[in-house]
Amino acid sequence: MAVEQTLYSLLTTVCPDVFADFAEEPMPSGDFVVYQQITGDVINPIANDVPDLRNSRMQITVWSKSRIRANELSRQIEDVLRTTELFQARPETALTNDFDEEVKLRGSRQDFSIWWK
């Protein structure tokens, strides 16, 4: 299973509305999560072999009408990702709060390093 599919499945255990890259129209009426790969580390074996391990740095943002709810869901996501046995995920940053003036939603963003096979 691709790392994106596994990540999507894990995120939906915390919040049912999950999107890759951006929230699709029409915007969800409740809380939702957006994830996006923003970079990653590369393994380059000297023997020119294909590495058996890959890395993705994923940015995960929760959007909600409530600051408290956005942060609460973000912390739940961190706990789910830290404890999964499907891949190894570790936070690279603490929560960063955001606000979208246009849609009046509060965001909570965090970056994770995910190592997977």
According to the 3-state scheme, what is the secondary structure of 82-108?
A: HHCCCCEEEECCCCEEEEECCCCEEEE
Instruction: Classify 15 as helix, strand or coil.
Output: coil
Tens digit of each residue's pLDDT, the chain (117 residues): 699 999 999 999 999 999 999 999 998 999 999 999 999 999 999 998 999 999 999 999 999 999 999 999 999 999 999 999 999 999 999 999 999 999 999 999 999 999 999
Partnered with residue 20 across adjacent β-strands are: 35
pLDDT at 60: 98
Which pairs from 94-97 meet CB under 8 Å and 24+ separation? Answer: 95/71, 97/67, 97/70, 97/71
